[in-house]
Amino acid sequence: MLQVLIYLLFFVIGSILGLVLSYKKYGEPFIYNNIDIVALILSIIGWISFINFYNYFIGVALGLFLIAFVMSMRPGYGRKETLIGLIISVVIYLIRYLLVG
C-alpha cells in the first residue's frame, strides 16, 4: 500500500512540474505539428522504465514521474510524444519477451 502511495506521489509531482514548465516554455496556447525532442526523450525513457522494469520500485517510480511530466504538459503539447514513447516501449517489451521468453 505504501508503494502505491509513493507511485501516486511521483505521478502528481511529475504532473505539476510538467504543467508549470510547459507554461513557462511555450507561449502559444496550442501546437499542431511540432514534436518536442526533449519531451519525446523523457517520454520514451519513462515508458520504457514503467513497462520494462515493472518489478523494480525505482524503475516504476521514475517511469511514472516522467510519463506524468510529459502527459500533463499544456493542452496540445506532449500527446504525440506520449504516444510515440508508449509504442516504442511496447515494441521493446514484446521483442524482449519473445527473445528471452
Our count of domains for the chain comes to 1
Three-point CA angle 11, 96, 94, nearest 5°: 70
Cell of 73: 504538459
Q: Which domain holds residue 9?
A: 2-100
Residue 52 pLDDT class (50, 70, 90 cuts): confident
56-101 residue pLDDT tens: 888 999 999 999 999 988 877 888 899 999 999 999 999 988 888 6
Buried b (16+ CB within 10 A) or exposed e, 73-100: bbeebbebbbebbbebbeeeeeeeeeee
Which whole-number Å values give the CA distances from 27 to 3, 21, 56, in the listed order?
A: 37, 11, 38
Cell of 33: 505539428
What predicted TM-score, i.e. pTM, was given to this entire model? 0.86
